[in-house]
């Protein structure tokens, strides 16, 4: 407790402006919060996938494992349809050779516990080999369906709302509680208001949440109009969503490292993140 600042003893803990959340505590709490929300959505997707006959799934990387088996092209009636190249306009199509692929491989993939999909890999051999993979959702019965609602679109909106609520109600979710952190008011003692924690997380996850909701709404709209199996716009949307996530992740790391005791999103929203240090009563 060598850090300067006014501290106050409250319920057996020292809470004060001099005890900042630190760098590693905040980083670990950040990833624990993401993992918890991803795991919950994965379990919901695993339960909803068979109940809705594939209409709802979750393509999160938070899975146990993925197992793919080759599909016998001669014994399947769907392979001719699956082997059709998707239209141009996607993120990688500008690099596609202007000739038919040399090899086409169709595989069925079981991504446990969340969903099933068919993976079609087109390969062009040559001096510089080029490969393109298209993944299409499957019903539990094995039939290809035009589109499903992917719960991955809700990851950032759910993360934003959950963190805002948990920080206002309990000072933080499981990640912050495990790392001994609390989100408090600007004075470092009182509980933060929900309006402040909502603004805090909107600054962190707002752009990614809006992009995810827009991509999900676009997919539902195209499905209602009988859109094709492959939509180049969604390919670009997922790349943009990933880029936004990477950008904000790096911004988070740099800001927490150089802006002490609180980075800009905490100061702008009027909150502070402080450590809890246990004091033994003697």
CB atoms within 10 A of CB 205: 23
Is 227 in a helix, a strand, or coil? coil
Q: Rounded CA gap, 189 and 5, in Å?
A: 12
What pTM value is reported for the model?
0.72
Taking only the tens place, the pLDDT of each residue in 241-258 is 677 777 877 887 888 777
pLDDT at 141: 74
* Paired tokens of 243: 């880029």
pLDDT score recorded for residue 162? 95
Q: What is the mean pLDDT of the chain?
A: 77
**For residue 85, what are its two tokens?**
């190249």
User: Any idea where the domains of the chain sit in the sequence?
Assistant: 10-43+151-278, 63-145
Q: Minimal CA–CA distance to 141: which of 233, 35, 50, 220? A: 50
Q: Note the pLDDT of residue 248.
A: 75
Q: How far apart are CA 179 and CA 227, in angstroms?
A: 47
Distance (Å, whole) CA 175 – CA 34:
9
pLDDT value at position 59?
A: 78
Most confident stretch, 99-103, 143-147, 221-225, 277-281:
99-103
Lowest mean pLDDT among 76-90, 163-177, 200-214, 265-279: 76-90
pLDDT in tens, 49-92: 888 888 888 876 555 567 888 877 655 566 677 777 776 655 66
pLDDT at 75: 53
Predicted local confidence at residue 32, as pLDDT: 92
**Over 80: is that where the pLDDT of 122 sits?**
yes
Angle between helical axes of 155-170 and 194-224 (0-180°, round to 10) = 160
Whole-number pLDDT of residue 251:
80
- Residue 159 confidence (pLDDT): 93
Percentage of residues of the chain with pLDDT beyond 70: 75
pLDDT tens-digit map of 180-238? 888 988 877 788 999 999 999 998 888 888 877 887 777 677 666 655 555 566 666 66
Strands 181-185 and 65-70: unpaired
Higher local confidence (pLDDT), 75 or 112: 112
């Amino acid at each position: 407790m060598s850090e300067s600042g006014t501290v106050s003893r409250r319920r057996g803990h020292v809470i004060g402006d001099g005890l900042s959340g630190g760098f590693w505590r905040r980083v670990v709490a950040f990833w624990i919060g993401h993992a918890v929300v991803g795991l919950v959505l994965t379990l919901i997707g695993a339960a909803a996938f068979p109940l809705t006959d594939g209409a709802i799934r979750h393509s999160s990387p938070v899975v146990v494992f993925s197992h793919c088996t080759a599909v016998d092209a001669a014994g399947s009636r769907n392979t001719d349809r699956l082997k059709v190249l998707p239209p141009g306009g996607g993120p990688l199509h500008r690099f596609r050779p202007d000739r038919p692929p040399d090899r086409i491989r169709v595989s069925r993939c079981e991504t446990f516990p969340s969903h099933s999909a068919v993976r079609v890999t087109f390969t062009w051999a040559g001096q510089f080999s080029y490969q393109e993979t298209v993944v299409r959702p499957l019903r539990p019965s094995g039939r290809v369906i035009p589109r499903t609602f992917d719960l991955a679109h809700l990851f950032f909106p759910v993360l934003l709302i959950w963190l805002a609520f948990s920080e206002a109600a309990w000072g933080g979710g499981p990640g912050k509680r495990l790392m001994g952190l609390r989100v408090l008011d600007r004075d470092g003692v009182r509980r933060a208001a929900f309006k402040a924690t909502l603004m805090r997380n909107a600054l962190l996850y707002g752009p990614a949440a809006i992009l995810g909701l827009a991509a999900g709404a676009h997919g539902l709209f195209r499905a209602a109009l009988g859109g094709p199996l492959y939509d180049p716009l969604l390919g670009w949307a997922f790349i943009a969503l990933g880029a936004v996530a990477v950008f904000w992740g790096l911004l988070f790391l740099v800001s927490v490292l150089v802006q002490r005791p609180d980075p800009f999103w905490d100061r702008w929203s009027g909150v502070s993140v402080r450590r809890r240090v246990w004091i033994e009563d003697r």
